[in-house]
Amino acid sequence: MANKLKVATTSLAGCFGCHMSLLDIDERLLDLCEVAEFDRSPLTDIKHCSETVDIGLIEGGLCNAENVHTLREFRKHCRILVGVGACALNGGIPALRNHIPLQECLEEAYLHGVGVEDAQVPNDPELPLLLSKVHPIHEVVKVDYFLPGCPPSADVFWKFLTDVAAGKEPELPYELVHYD
């Protein structure tokens, strides 16, 4: 196939579980690679999105400034932006920290945690600052599709990608939709 679909992926405030679930399509990955090639992704060494990417898969919600930066890069370059997994959809488990003021979270982890020595909250400018709350990605950029699940099953990825590769409107049958 002359023009393969370009697929970029990233994990923001994610656990990489959605990427593992994508890899759970197992040997179908070989079929996928016949019609698609990976652009920027944790699975490749490409540092930034190509000018035009067909599909961007975003795992994870937004928990820090770099997440927002990365998400905007994906939106700028991806024709179809896809929120993958519960975290991208509504913040997910990481959003449970929204109950606790950020300062308290940092102090618990870096100052008062068990076994902490030379206690200080990391403040090197190289480190991205945390957002005061965790947010789903649709609150920052327009998202074209969501694949719910924690994680979405391999069959969800397969159905979505094969639908797009076939030029069809992606559709998930009832059995493939779950939020947990």
Partner 1 sequence: MKPYHISIDGQAVPYQPGQTLMEAATAAGVYIPHLCHNPEFKPHGSCKLCTVKVNGRSASACTLPAGEGQEVQNNTPELNATRRAITRMLFVEGNHICPGCEKTGNCQLQAVGYFVGMLDTHYPHFFPTRRVDASHPDVMLDLDRCILCELCVRASRDVDGKNVFGLAGRGLQTRLVVNSASGLLKDTAFSVGDKAAQVCPVGAILVKRKGYEVPIGERVFDHHNIGEVSLEHDQAVLGADHG
Residue in 14, 148, 161, 165 binding partner 1, rule: CB under 8 A: 148
Q: Which residues pair with 58 in a beta bridge?
A: 10, 83
Query: Nearer Cβ to partner 1, position 29 or 80?
Result: 80
Contact 29, 157 (CB under 8 A): no
18 touches partner 1 by CB under 8 A: no
Query: Nearer Cβ to partner 1, position 39 or 172?
Result: 172
Binding mask 49-88 for partner 1 (x = CB under 8 A): ----------------------------------x--x--
Indicate the DSSP class of residue 13. Answer: B
Q: Is 26 left (phi over 0), alpha (psi -120 to 50) or beta?
A: left
Which amino acid does the sequence have at 42? P
161 touches partner 1 by CB under 8 A: no
Start-to-end Cα distance in the chain: 36
Q: Which residues pair with 135 in a beta bridge?
A: 62
* DSSP β-ladder status, 130-135 and 62-64: antiparallel
20 touches partner 1 by CB under 8 A: no
Token couple for 39: 């652009």
Binding mask 106-135 for partner 1 (x = CB under 8 A): ---------------------------x-x
Token couple for 62: 């937004």
13 touches partner 1 by CB under 8 A: no
Q: Footprint of partner 1 on this chain (CB under 8 A)?
A: 83, 86, 89-93, 95-96, 98-99, 133, 135-136, 138-139, 143, 145-148, 150, 172, 174, 177-180
